[in-house]
Amino acid sequence: MGLVTATVDRLTFRNFTELASLTGAIAASGFRRFSTYRQATVASLVTNTMFGFLRTYVMLAIVGTAGATLAGYTGAQLAGYVWVGQGLLGVVLLWGWNDLAERIRSGDVVTDLMRPIHPVLSYLSADLGRAAYAMMFRFLPPIVVGALVFQIYLPKDLVTYPLFLISVLLAVIVCFACRYLVNASAFWLLDHRGVTMFWLFTSGIMGGLYFPVHFLPDWAVALLWFGTPGPSLLQAPMDIFVERDGVAIRVGLIGIQLFWAVLLLWVCTVVQRRAERKMVIQGG
Amino acid sequence: MRVIDVRGLRKEFTVRVRKTMLRREKRVVAAVDGVDLRVERGELLGYLGPNGAGKSTTLKMLTGVLHPTAGHVSVCGFTPVPQRIKLARRIGVVFGQRSQLWWDLPLRDSFDLLKAIYRVPGEQHAAQLKRCRDLLDLDSFMDTPVRQLSLGQRMRGELTASLLHSPEILFLDEPTIGLDVVSKQAVRGFLAELGARGDTTIVLTTHDLADIERLCSRIVVIDHGKVVHDGSIQDLHLRYGSRRRVIADFDVAFTYPVDLPGVVLESSTGTRLVFAVDEVGPLAAVLAANGSLRDLSIAEPEIEDVISRLYQTPAGQVG
Amino acid sequence: MGETLRIYLQLIGAQGRAQASYRVSFWLDLAGNAIVVGADLLTVLVIYTQVPKLGGFGVAQTLVFFGLALAAFSLADLFVGNIERMKTYVRMGTLDGVLVRPLGVLPQLLAMDVGFRRLGRVAYALVIFAVSLSYADIPWTPSRVVLAVVAPLSGAVFFCAYFVATATVAFWWVESGELANALTYGGRDFTSYPITVYSGWFRKLFAFGLGFGFVAYYPGLALLGIPDPLGFPSWLGWGSVLVALIAVMVAATIWRTGVRHYRSTGS
């Protein structure tokens, strides 16, 4: 993977164990940092739950009109899809991450280069720590609420659980890479809000947050899965959770996510290298 | 004329203390605990105290931001909270770490807006602005957006902004915090001039003791919500027994022979002796009588020492 | 009174100049804000590719509800949307600065950051509403024309009340994060669909208890000339004015309580 090569290039004198313990420490700090935002977490949970209710009712109304199934989902599966989506929203953190852009604007980003770890890996580790926290405190509560009020589909197949966790992990990595790239545009653009808005607009729709991408025509579904990282952000783990497709296809979805995770992280390292060159030459 | 009359002022806050993971306990804390304060027109009052002593809380109650839990407050003849808007026209407030200016607009625009907000008549506004521009040297940055001003320039703008409606009382919360030496001097000079004219009462909280020494004829020290001193700086020295130091150098080693009342030998290296004294005269006479005295110097007590000693004394034990 | 109004207009004007000083960002926001809300419209359209009717209503009819909700919300957001920054105002001490000025607290806070950059969203919402009306085959009468103007305005007043009432939470709970969004943005989403979509206590609570049913659904039905599948009379469409007034009164009470609480507890 491009990322590891870049890191090892810079750290030839360090061995792998050291790197692992370093990233572990960064991830732990990401976990702790977010565990201090307890009150904000509660507030987001209430909001996520409200939107969960709204979307579930709309989805159930659609199935109610369409008959037993729609686009491959039953009513319970669509309800499950909505609540898993609301829970994962805070885990993959689709919106509201501008750490890097803020550091670029303030110039603090220069200090990232002085750390003995590749910046992309460092930010990724912190983000995984954050996601681990969110998985406990932002994913589970909406699922519980949804399951209490509605009849939501829970996985029948044991293998779904590990597949789901892998898929969430990959979704976090894909989402992180997208956010990183959106933020990194601030290296070149004085005001990167245009890019941010493009991301806001496309991620929700292409990720399957507002409606399952399977509602779209087949050609568009294929284009989204294979041509964009969108469905890898939310649609993949959501589909795996509600077991919309057979095991083979579920594994296939993870394959697509893996492809996007690797590709996007590689792009991140390329962009980071360019940005570093720009900083070194132009002094920021 | 009395412009501030405060009696038995008290402000309680309820804080929740986390006892265990789940249990929290409510506790009532008095941030201001029975403050009495009377300020006459034209006074320049320094309001001092360590962090969390209740300085800002008092100021907020005087300016109508917070409602007192108990006690009587009258500022310019008004009761601050119910008569907030009337009072606001008569006072100026500068909160050192936040701005009352329009961040993205030229400084000039902020002054125009404040003229409208306070409904200042045209001539009065022009005259007051002219005076501030001259005294605070604003001309070079009147057309610069506030966000591009240096901290010192901005504070000069803030002072002007708080004075355009010719307030009777000017409240300043840490006006020199974070400023460079030159800007501090400029701010102090301006406040000294304003105070000297005698028509504006100034109440100032600060951590910078140089502000106090340069500006304030009267200081009120508050600690744990209580007034622990109210008077001049000299009173403060007297009261807390801060003494002047006498440093005497001798050509040959000297042993302090007698035991004068009010004199304490603090240290001795043989040829240099340091005393803390109430009065210099008797000691100087004794030392001069000894032939080998080479040099004698007197150091005035520093207010830092006084204040820091004062803060170390537990509340309630002094005054 | 006129004098005070002039001062506020001057404050709002200053805010406009301040925002225009970031020229590129301003236009980007203006355009971008309109695009971002496009996602909601797309959602409605995609849903109707799957089903001919939703909650008993066709796409043209739902778009009337949608357009009405969006127009009302965008107008409210334009004027008072910045009050959702109340948490910041409390935390940064901006509120203290506002309290020492001889003007009302709420108008000052609102005038501090009027969302000119959200004008794009308003324009977009009004266009959607107008287009939805022209597609919906409305049996126009003079009273329906009046309602088509009054409904988005009273809906806007209603949302303004919700923005202010929910922002008041910050007086008690500074770290309340995005909590207020549940009722403001959530309320907008609720009213974007016919309330027949929802059911049980959820519908009762939001449509009638909290009044969101009167923003778009009942005025929409009155415009469309369709009887309510839930069996309520059609004049309820005009109820939006009354409901908006009630909401304003409740919000004003909550706001005043909040300010009083702040003054007795500080921040």
Higher pLDDT, C119 or B129: B129
What's the domain count of chain C? Answer: 1
B55 and B12 within one domain: yes
Mark whether B257 and B137 lie in a shared domain.
Answer: no
* Inter-chain touch C102–B63, beta carbons under 8 Å: no
Tokens standing for residue C47: 């849903």
Question: DSSP 3-state assignment of C155?
Answer: helix
**C202 contacts in chain A (CB < 8 Å):** 53, 57
Distance CA A114, CA C103 (A): 51
By the CB < 8 Å criterion, does C264 face chain B?
Answer: yes
**pLDDT for residue C44 is more than 50:** yes
What is the number of other CB atoms lying within 10 angstroms of the CB of residue A165? 13
* Residue B185 domain-assigned (yes or no): yes
Number of H helices, E strands in chain A: 14, 2
Please report whether residue B34 resides in a domain: yes
Looking at the fold, whether B134 and B203 belong to one and the same domain comes out as yes
Alpha helices in chain B (DSSP H): 55-62, 84-90, 107-117, 122-136, 151-163, 181-197, 209-215, 233-239, 281-288, 303-312
Given CB atoms, is C94 within the 8 Å cutoff of chain B?
A: yes
pLDDT of residue B177: 83
Nearest to B76 by CA among B9, B150, B153, B170: B170
Which residue among A37, A47, A57 sits closest to C202, beta carbon to beta carbon?
A57
CATH of the domain at B252: 3.30.70.250
Strands B272-277 and B263-268: what pairing?
Answer: antiparallel
Whole-number pLDDT of residue A2: 36
**Contacts A53 to C, Cβ<8 Å:** 202
Q: pLDDT tens digits for chain B (319 residues)?
A: 899 999 999 999 888 777 666 677 888 888 999 999 999 999 999 998 877 788 889 999 999 999 999 999 999 999 999 999 999 999 999 987 778 898 889 999 999 999 999 999 999 999 999 999 998 889 999 999 998 899 899 999 999 999 999 999 999 998 888 888 888 888 899 999 999 988 899 999 887 777 887 888 899 988 888 998 898 877 877 776 667 788 888 888 877 777 777 788 888 888 888 888 877 888 888 888 876 888 888 877 666 667 766 666 554 444 3
Is B265 found in the same domain as B142?
Answer: no
Same domain, B162 and B296: no
Contact present, B99 and B159 (Cβ < 8 Å): no
Pairing outcome for strands B91-95 and B218-223 = unpaired
How many whole angstroms separate alpha carbon B86 and alpha carbon B79?
Answer: 10
Rounded distance between C-alpha atoms, residue B84 and residue C101, angstroms: 8
Least confident of B21-30, C151-160, C223-232: B21-30
Of B238, B267, B288, the residue that ends a domain is B238
Please indicate, yes or no, whether residues B146 and B17 belong to a single structural domain of this protein: yes
The verdict on C205 touching A (C-beta cutoff 8 Å) is no
Please indicate, yes or no, if residue B70 is contained in any of the structural domains.
yes
pLDDT of the residue at B147 = 87
3-class secondary structure, B247 = strand
Q: Are residues B174 and B277 in the same domain?
A: no
**Complex confidence, ipTM:** 0.91
Q: pLDDT at position C38, please?
A: 83
Q: Tell me, yes or no, if B116 comes closer than 8 A to chain C by beta carbon.
A: yes
Q: What is the side-by-side order of every strand in the sheet holding B24-40?
A: B24-40, B2-18, B70-75
Flag whether residue A144 sits within 8 Å of chain C, measured between CB atoms: no
pLDDT of the residue at B319? 36
Give, in order, the Cα–Cα distances in Å from A49 to each of A55, A86, A241, C141. 10, 7, 18, 41
Pick from A23, A11, A10, A16: nearest CA to A273: A10
Query: A55-67: per-residue pLDDT in tens?
Result: 999 999 999 888 8
Q: Measured between beta carbons, which residues in chain A are less than 8 angstroms from residue C43?
A: 205, 210-211
The whole-angstrom separation of Cα A79 and Cα C81 is 31
Any B CB within 8 A of C97 CB: yes
- Same domain assignment for residues B46 and B179: yes
Over the range B213-249, which residues count as b (16 or more CB within 10 Å of their CB) and which as e? eebbebbbbbbbbbbbbbeebeebbeebebbebbebe
Touching partners of C (3+ C-beta pairs < 8 Å): A, B
Size of interface A-C (CB pairs under 8 A): 96
- Chain C partners of A71 at a C-beta cutoff of 8 Å? 50
Considering only CB atoms, B117 lies closest to which of C17, C101, C266, namely C101
What percentage of chain C exceeds 90 in pLDDT? 63
The SS3 assignment for B25 reads strand
Is residue C149 less than 8 Å (CB to CB) from chain B?
A: no
Q: Do A216 and C46 touch (CB under 8 A)?
A: yes
* Contacting B residues, span 13-72, partner chain C, CB-CB under 8 Å: 13-14, 57, 60, 63-67, 69
Partner residue facing C50 (CB), from A54, A66, A200: A66
Q: Which domain holds residue C125?
A: 2-265
Cross-chain Cβ contact C19/B104 below 8 Å: yes
Domain tally for chain B?
A: 2
Best mutation target among B28, B32, B67 (most C Cβ atoms within 10 Å) is B67
pLDDT at B73: 95
Question: Is the per-residue pLDDT at C74 higher than 90?
Answer: yes
Nearest to A7 by CA among A188, A20, A131: A20
CB contact under 8 A, C55 and A62: no
Is B318 within a domain?
A: no
Weakly modelled stretches of chain A, pLDDT under 70: 1-15, 281-284
DSSP state of C54: B
3-state secondary structure of B23: coil
- Residue B251 confidence (pLDDT): 84
% pLDDT > 70, chain C: 97
Residue A58 has its nearest CB partner, among C49, C173, C197, at C197
Residue B306 within any structural domain of the chain? no
What pLDDT is attached to residue B178?
Answer: 82
- Among the listed residues A61, A59, A134, A155, the one whose alpha carbon sits nearest the alpha carbon of residue A92: A134
Q: What is the pLDDT of residues B176-196, one digit of tens each?
A: 888 888 888 888 999 999 999
Question: Which CATH number fits the domain that encloses residue B192?
Answer: 3.40.50.300
Q: Are residues B119 and B9 in the same domain?
A: yes
Residue A77 makes CB contacts below 8 A (sequence gap 6+) with A153, A242, A243, A244
Q: What is the residue range of B211's domain?
A: 2-238
Q: What is the pLDDT of residue A6?
A: 42
Q: Is B224 left (phi over 0), alpha (psi -120 to 50) or beta?
A: left
Pairing of strands A69-70, A73-74: antiparallel
Between chain B and chain C, the number of residue pairs with CB atoms below 8 A apart is 75
Convert A260-273 into a string of H (helix), E (strand) and C (coil). Answer: HHHHHHHHHHHHHH
Amino acid C178: pLDDT: 85
- Co-location of B191 and B266 in the same domain: no
In which residue are the tokens 């783990």 written? A237
The pLDDT of residue A192 is 78
Position A73, amino acid: Y
